[in-house]
Chain A
Amino acid sequence: DVKVTQSSRYLVKRTGEKVFLECVQDMDHENMFWYRQDPGLGLRLIYFSYDVKMKEKGDIPEGYSVSREKKERFSLILESASTNQTSMYLCASTTGASSGANVLTFGAGSRLTVL
């Protein structure tokens, strides 16, 4: 069964802490994405990556950075967590095909609370 695995389901951090959210996929997908999900706001794209060591800003990159050192792993980093970053974070991946439907496979999510 193919998977996107987010290692932490629930985290509680303090304001100012550095936070790492890890995502690993076993489907040899080229493209990986980080979204945050908030009630009434739906999914908003933070960052995405089309290849190893490559990253692109999404719609709301401020306060976040990412790392893609290996094809299967895409990490989201909060350099200095703030309370407004309390949210559900969803990782997703898909093949790198330039045509055809872009079917995303999602992880189960990481719920982050910043106190």
Chain B
Amino acid sequence: GEDVEQSLFLSVREGDSSVINCTYTDSSSTYLYWYKQEPGAGLQLLTYIFSNMDMKQDQRLTVLLNKKDKHLSLRIADTQTGDSAIYFCAENQAGTALIFGKGTTLSVSS
């Protein structure tokens, strides 16, 4: 079955770049997503990328997609303490339910 894998923890210093990686197994995935969960809250969508794209940039966020290797990454430039959260990678085919990874806890120290 489909699977989405992420490392569980990442620790960075304030001002550094953070890179959160994700691999997925379903080669027919149409969309890939990054969600953020702050403490005590639900998930909120950060960004998503269509599978025929290899990069998407939105302010401090850069998403890279390597479809051949089924690898997705989220880069956060100039990481701030407010970026501390759990980041979830997810994928789906159009019209189907999302499959989520287990989440990467990002810890930002000042």
Contact = CB atoms under 8 A, between A and B. Distances in A.
Contacts of A92: 42-43
Interface residues of B, number: 23
Contacts of B102: 40-42
B41 A108 contact: yes
Contact of B43 (A45, A58, A102, A106): A106
A77 to B, nearest CB: 20
Contacts, number: 57
Given A100-B94, A102-B95, A104-B43, A40 B88 contact: no
Interface of B: 8, 31, 33, 35, 40-45, 48, 50, 88, 92, 94-98, 100-103
Contacts of A98: 94-95
A102 B98 contact: yes
A103 B45 contact: yes
**Interface residue range, chain A:** 20 to 34
Contact of A40 (B8, B44, B45): B8
A108 to B, nearest CB: 5
5 contacts: A33-B97, A97-B95, A98-B95, A101-B50, A108-B40
B31 A106 contact: no
Contact of A106 (B33, B44, B92, B94): B44
A99 B96 CA distance: 9
A98, A101, A103 interface centre (most CB from chain B within 10 Å): A101
B43 to A, nearest CB: 5
Contact of B45 (A33, A104, A108): A104
A104 B98 CA distance: 9
B95 A99 contact: yes
A54 interface: no
Contacts of B98: 102, 104
A107 B95 contact: no
A43 B88 contact: yes
A108 B42 contact: yes
